[in-house]
Copies of this chain bind each other. A is one copy, B any other.
């Protein structure tokens, strides 16, 4: 039998933990009930976790609990947490990768603290200047990888080039049948547009794209992200964070307005009877819980951050993401891509 995919779960991170975390595990187990290739290392309050695991009848063979007394609070800042978070559920969850007990770590806890301690524990891959936070973003043909989503407020061209290679590796590991197509997020598609940093990155990526790790599509504007012509969207953490949140806010604004319109009179309410299944499918397709999970790339081990406020369905999608990242050999894909980059001497 092949080695199982070992996912380390911080059961105490996020709103409504550990309840949604364990329910998320149960949803994952139900989905993959015919498979036997995964295992959970669960970190947190053993008593609470056990009660939940029993509630969902999750068989013993799928998990091991590592009791931890302390939890990283949402109010903790990355600075103080370096000292206080040691031996917390989050710390031990990530640390289990160093001990080779786990292949990947998942937490819905404090983002800043998770980034700092992941970096401390797992260390940055040799040759990578800055790790990045990558996310999933739907497009008309499938799924984009967008990075950086906020780990690095300021980036130089070397960072943007490394993000392109790491983002392509992530796309390849999750969607092996598609070719990664990289584009740099910019204010126009012409080569003269943008900052000096982005122009330098553009000129180097035109060369690097020839090594075959990805197709380089040049610049992309914000309104083209969802078109699907490119599927790895690269930007600095400031712009990426604002673009992602603006898209989330716009989606909510439109669907809120749609709800108001469809409930405003008897006739439109009546129409919901006939459009119920279509609207349900529409809602499901664009359900943000399906894209829950930001991936911290560039460390000697993958770490996934789930939205703190998501529910068990969202958390289960993050577990699914972890499973597919390990199955798709993300770490070796990244090392492979970065080795080509070194050949090219950025």
Residues of A within 8 A of B (CB): 77, 138-140, 150, 153-154, 185-187, 192, 194-195, 221-227, 235, 237-239, 241-258, 260-262, 264-265, 267-268, 270-275, 277-279, 281-282, 285-286
Contacts and interface: CB of A to CB of B under 8 A. Distances in A.
A238 B241 contact: no
Contacts of A192: 77
Contact of A278 (B223, B238, B261, B278): B261
Contacts of A150: 187
19 contacts: A153-B194, A185-B242, A221-B245, A222-B246, A222-B248, A223-B248, A243-B243, A246-B247, A247-B249, A250-B251, A254-B254, A258-B258, A262-B275, A262-B278, A264-B278, A265-B278, A267-B277, A268-B277, A268-B279
B222 A245 contact: yes
Contacts of A227: 249
A153 B282 CA distance: 37
Nearest to A150: B187
Contacts of A242: 185-187, 221-222, 235, 239, 242-243
A241 B222 contact: yes
Contacts of A221: 242, 245
Contact of A274 (B187, B270, B281, B286): B270
Nearest to A270: B274
Given A187-B153, A239-B242, A275-B262, A249 B267 contact: no
A245 B274 contact: no
A315 to B, nearest CB: 20
Contact of A246 (B140, B194, B225): B225
A261 B238 contact: no
B140 A253 contact: yes
A52 to B, nearest CB: 31
B222 A243 contact: yes
A145 to B, nearest CB: 16
Contact of A282 (B222, B241, B261): B261
Contacts of A186: 242
